[in-house]
Each structure stands twice: as C-alpha cells, then as structure tokens.
C-alpha cells in the first residue's frame, strides 16, 4: 500500500477531524497537512508516521491505556504519607478519596509548594472523569491542562489516566 496525501485526507475525514485538529494532535502545521493532502508536497516518512500515529489515537480508548489500580489517599493523611505513597507506587499525583467520594487531587507540585501538613489543606480540585469508551484523542487535550483524568464506568471508578500513560502512544 502506498500512503498518499489523499489517503491521509480520507482517514482524517473518516474520524471526523479537521486539519487543525490533526495538526494539534500530530504537531505538524495545518498548512503543511493541507499541502500534503493536496499533493503539493512529498513529505518525509517521519511526517507520514506522525500523521498516522495521530490518526490512530482516535481509535484508542481510555480502557485500553488506563491504570486499573487507582492509588489514592484520604484528606486527613499527612503530606509525608502522600509523598511516601507516591514514591512507593512511582506516581506523581494521588486522587483524594474519602468514604467513596472523590474530593480532590494531590500532586508532587502541591506537596512541594505547601506550607501545611495535611493533604486536605493543599489538594487541588478533583480530576475530571471520563468513560472507559472515551477516545484517547478526546482525553489528550484534557491532559494538556490537567495532570490526570479518572475513568468512571456506571458511577464506579475503574481507572486513572496520567500524561505518562500516553507516552507509549507517541
């Protein structure tokens, strides 16, 4: 199979993406994508690979990349407890959960900047929640702003996705 600009255009349209959305996902300019799709430039193989990887993100679902075991902490625990838990499990943030309720999120940055002693005193807002069937393509922009999202299925937390979970998709 020969990968052409029209093949990239057809795939992009199949997934309902604009050239601008594909540009943001692939880190290739919209103008360059337009030239590729129009057959005006013959891109390098690495450019085609970046576009194909970005298009494949549309097919990957949260349930495919989420970490199923959510490591969490209570708001009345000490920041030291949070730091130890993060280090033990090699994570950079912890959802703050009490009696089954997601209260917030504590990150390494929160701990380093805090002057308090308890998680509840320096935690940030609760992470956004998404469905397991949500496309990673739709989650990626959220992770540009937030450190993680929690995956919720039928009102039950079933996983968490951090930025590092998407590194293997690049």
What's the average model confidence in pLDDT over 33-51?
A: 89
d(CA 129, CA 143): 12
Give 26's Cβ-side CA count (13 Å radius). Answer: 27
pLDDT at 72: 96
Sign of CA dihedral 135, 141, 144, 149: negative
Question: How far apart, in Å, are the Cα atoms of 161 and each of 15, 18, 24, 68?
Answer: 22, 25, 20, 9
98: Cα within 13 Å, side-chain hemisphere: 9
Regarding pTM above 0.75, the answer is: no
Predicted local confidence at residue 42, as pLDDT? 85
Domains delineated in the chain: 5-59 (1.10.260.40), 63-169 (3.10.580.10)
Average pLDDT, stretch 24-39? 91
């Amino acid at each position: 199979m020969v990968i052409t600009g029209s093949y990239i255009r057809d795939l992009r349209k199949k997934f309902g993406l604009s050239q601008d959305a594909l540009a943001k996902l692939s880190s290739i300019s919209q103008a360059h994508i337009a030239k590729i799709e129009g057959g005006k430039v013959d891109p390098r193989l690495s450019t085609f690979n970046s576009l194909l990887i970005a298009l494949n993100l549309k097919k990957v679902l949260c349930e495919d990349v989420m970490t199923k075991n959510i490591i969490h902490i209570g708001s009345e625990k000490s920041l030291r407890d949070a730091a130890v838990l993060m280090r033990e499990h090699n994570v950079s943030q912890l959802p703050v959960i009490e009696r089954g309720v997601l209260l917030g999120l504590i990150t390494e940055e929160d701990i380093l900047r805090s002057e308090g002693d308890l998680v509840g005193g320096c935690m940030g807002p609760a992470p956004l929640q998404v469905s397991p069937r949500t496309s990673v393509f739709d989650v990626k922009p959220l992770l540009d702003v937030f450190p993680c999202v929690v995956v919720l299925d039928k009102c039950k937390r079933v996983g968490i996705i951090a930025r590092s979970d998407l590194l293997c998709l690049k």
